[in-house]
């Protein structure tokens, strides 16, 4: 059943005390931590991170309701907001937690909306009147103002991955002012406007933070705007509009994702895919912004795959009613108690779980029929190698000649990525050899799972395919030659074992004429282990090394070279197979050759076949030797 679903929740969720047993649950996107806060006398806090090492529990003085709580990077300093005027801090280095110190916002009459850690000891306060950027001096238990900026703020959003802060300004809230933070510096980026849906003049529309998400997709920062269906336009449904936000330069609207429906939505980004959850239908859609259709200056996208639910998930029953032997119960997917955080986190406060959303690639094979499009999709995914190799194996099993165009397309897509990696490796090696001035700026290319090299294809696809029963040998040879053509097209040196596979396949099917033509017209081009200047000898060597003794003999006869070949070489190879009947056949062939050439079946002394003659007599008896015919 689970094979149908291409989205699933992580198997080992982070568990925390659910909302019914605590006063508040907070999530810190930078550290991926859940804070379960319980008040009463002292404030008890339990912090759960992605793994058990990040879990801790402590108590604080109860100084009022906690509005926001977050650790700096590395859990070094805790920041707690309890009022709109100040933020309290507790040093966690060294252990145990020490007494609190506090910082009021500098702007008069301003209210603190929240705060964001930008490094382990730098923090930005966001107020309704601007931002204040501080450095914390833990030893002195004080803060130093680095920079501030006055601007009317409706709400804010922070991307910890890029340390970029978005501020919503103006009455409608749709003018966004971004700021970038880096090691004690704050820089103002170009502001931009998000286009709101057109509504009648009397209706007032403002941009809500619920409809905005910020995420990195393919190493670029995007602001994602969930643009709801407008009745005044003939739009068939809601859409997600992506604005590309570069560090320098202007922010531009670059992508539109068509949802083709209306209702409540939530956004995640998983493995560079935008995932849109639709609550009422309890399904999700995925979009890949690299698969695009251009409309003007904007790329318009339809979902890559049909809408499907997240894979059903069961959770253990907890609480006083739960018995140890009780079976897990189905989790309510797309629940109204779910909170979605970037890039790939889903939290159920009511059940006390934090999951990572994951994409499963195997189910996509049956959902994307266009193999070229499927390959484009898979090559951009993180864990794609074995899935891509299984696609290659599956597409060859049909053995239908009409598939050859598809096969060629897939091979070219794979080899383009392979060639790009080889070129990057070559550029890196050249830079390293040229001395420290160039090598210091050059990074070694990362070999991703999308790099499918010749040994991958040979081991997992071509070798077993060439021996498949029920597939026409002409199709097998066409596929092997197609892969070699593709490698040549991208100027990738062909490995000798691929040539050997072609030769072996041709010999197995007695296609010696075709093999000879391939050699004659340099279809099988030069390579070290297979020098085509002495191609016939090399082919014999290759076949004998693979114990294809009869195949080697058939080949050498087909090219008319059997009168001059070394008998000992063939007899040695036949002995190594431990197949006595094969040895008999080869021995008898060379006896007949000797008879034809010299009128005597015996081997000349110079042929060094004495040990093989002795062996033949031992196994088959002296009477089995051919006798010289006397005339």
Residue 401's nearest CA partner among 457, 458, 471 is 471
Structure tokens at 619: 């196994």
> pLDDT value at position 81?
92
Per-residue pLDDT tens over the stretch 508-564: 777 776 776 676 655 666 444 446 435 667 678 877 887 888 888 887 887 677 788
Structure tokens at 36: 């379960």
**Assigned domain for 463 exists:** yes
Q: Are 513 and 477 in contact (CB under 8 A)?
A: no
**Assigned domain for 422 exists:** yes
**Assigned domain for 149 exists:** no
> pLDDT value at position 62?
81
DSSP conformation letters of 109-159: T--EEEEEEEETTEEEEEETTEEEEEEEETTTTEEEEEEEEE---SEEEEE
DSSP letter, residue 308? B
Q: Which residue has the higher pLDDT, 362 or 528?
A: 362
CB-based burial of residue 269 (10 Å sphere; 0-12 exposed, 13-18 middle, 19+ buried)? buried
Grade residue 3 by pLDDT with cuts at 50, 70 and 90.
low
> pLDDT value at position 610?
93
CA angle 540-543-546, nearest 5°? 145
CA torsion through residues 574, 579, 580, 582, sign: negative
pTM for the whole thing? Answer: 0.79
**Assigned domain for 485 exists:** yes
Q: Are 344 and 29 in contact (CB under 8 A)?
A: no
If one counts the domains in the chain, the total is 1
**Considering the chain, what is the average pLDDT of its residues?**
84
Q: E strands of 151-184, at which residues?
A: 155-159, 164-169, 175-182
**Assigned domain for 345 exists:** no
- Give the sheet arrangement for strand 77-81, strand by strand: 68-71, 77-81, 86-91, 101-104
Find all residues with CB under 8 Å of 369, minimum gap 6, and list them. none
Residue ranges making up the domain that contains 405: 361-432+445-494
**Assigned domain for 262 exists:** no
**Assigned domain for 402 exists:** yes
> pLDDT value at position 598?
87
> pLDDT value at position 328?
77
Give the three-state DSSP class for 277.
Answer: strand
Distances, alpha carbon 50 to alpha carbons 14, 33, 467, 472, in Å: 6, 7, 47, 52
**Assigned domain for 411 exists:** yes
Q: Are 244 and 221 in contact (CB under 8 A)?
A: yes
Per-residue pLDDT tens over the stretch 137-193: 988 888 999 999 999 999 999 999 999 999 999 888 899 999 999 988 999 999 999
Grade residue 65 by pLDDT with cuts at 50, 70 and 90.
confident
Q: Are 496 and 529 in contact (CB under 8 A)?
A: yes
């Amino acid at each position: 059943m689970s094979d149908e679903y291409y989205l699933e929740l992580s198997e080992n969720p982070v568990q925390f005390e659910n909302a019914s047993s605590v006063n508040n649950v907070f999530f810190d996107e930078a550290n991926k931590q859940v804070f379960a806060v319980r008040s009463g006398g002292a404030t008890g806090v339990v912090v759960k991170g992605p793994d058990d090492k990040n879990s801790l529990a402590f108590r604080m003085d109860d100084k009022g309701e906690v509005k926001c709580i977050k650790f700096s990077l590395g859990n070094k300093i805790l920041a707690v907001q309890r009022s709109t005027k100040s933020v309290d801090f507790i040093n966690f280095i060294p252990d145990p937690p020490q007494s609190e110190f506090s910082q009021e916002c500098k702007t008069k009459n301003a209210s603190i909306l929240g705060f964001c850690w930008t490094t382990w000891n730098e923090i930005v306060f966001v107020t309704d009147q601007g931002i204040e950027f501080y450095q914390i001096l833990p030893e002195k238990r004080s803060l130093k103002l680095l920079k501030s900026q006055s601007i009317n703020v409706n709400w804010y959003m922070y991307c910890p991955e890029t340390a970029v802060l978005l501020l919503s300004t103006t009455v409608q809230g749709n003018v966004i002012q971004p700021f970038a933070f880096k090691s004690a510096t704050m820089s103002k980026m170009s502001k931009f406007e998000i286009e709101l849906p057109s509504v009648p003049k009397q209706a007032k529309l403002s941009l809500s933070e619920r409809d905005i998400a910020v995420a990195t997709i393919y190493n670029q920062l995007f602001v994602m705007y969930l643009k709801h269906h407008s009745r005044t336009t003939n739009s068939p449904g809601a859409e997600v509009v992506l604005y590309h936000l570069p560090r320098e330069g202007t922010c531009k609207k670059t992508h539109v994702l068509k949802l083709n429906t209306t209702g409540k939505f939530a956004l995640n980004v998983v493995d560079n895919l935008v995932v849109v959850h639709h609550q009422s239908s309890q399904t999700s859609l995925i979009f890949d912004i690299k698969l695009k259709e251009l409309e003007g200056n904007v790329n318009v996208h339809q979902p890559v795959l049909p809408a499907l639910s997240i894979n059903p998930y069961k959770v253990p029953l907890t609480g006083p009613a739960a018995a140890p032997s009780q079976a897990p119960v189905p989790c309510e997917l797309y629940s109204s108690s779910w909170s979605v955080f970037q890039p790939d986190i889903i939290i159920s406060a009511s059940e006390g779980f934090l999951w990572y959303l994951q994409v499963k690639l195997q189910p996509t094979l049956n959902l994307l029929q266009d193999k070229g499009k499927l390959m484009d999709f898979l090559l951009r995914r993180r864990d794609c190698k074995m899935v891509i190799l299984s696609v290659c194996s599956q597409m060859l099993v049909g053995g239908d000649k009409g598939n050859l165009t598809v096969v060629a397309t897939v091979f070219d897509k794979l080899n383009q990525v392979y060639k790009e990696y080889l070129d990057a490796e070559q550029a890196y090696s050249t830079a390293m050899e040229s001395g420290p001035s160039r090598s210091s700026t050059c990074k070694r290319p990362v070999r991703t799972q999308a790099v499918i090299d010749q040994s991958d294809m040979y081991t997992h696809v071509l070798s077993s395919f060439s021996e498949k029963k029920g597939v026409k040998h002409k199709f097998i040879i066409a596929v092997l030659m197609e892969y070699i053509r593709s490698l040549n097209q991208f100027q990738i040196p062909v490995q000798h074992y691929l040539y050997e596979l072609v030769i072996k396949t041709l010999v197995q099917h007695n296609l010696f004429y075709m093999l000879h033509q391939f050699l004659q017209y340099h279809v099988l081009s030069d390579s070290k282990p297979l020098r085509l200047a002495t191609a016939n000898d090399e082919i014999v060597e290759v076949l004998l090394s693979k114990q294809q003794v009869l195949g080697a003999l058939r080949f050498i006869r087909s090219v008319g070279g059997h009168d001059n070949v070394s008998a000992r070489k063939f007899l040695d190879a036949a002995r190594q197979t431990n197949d006595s009947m094969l040895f008999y056949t080869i021995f008898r062939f060379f006896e007949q050759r000797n008879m034809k050439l010299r009128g005597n079946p015996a081997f000349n002394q110079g042929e060094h076949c004495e040990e093989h003659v002795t062996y033949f007599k031992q196994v088959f008896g002296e009477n089995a030797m051919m006798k010289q015919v006397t005339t």
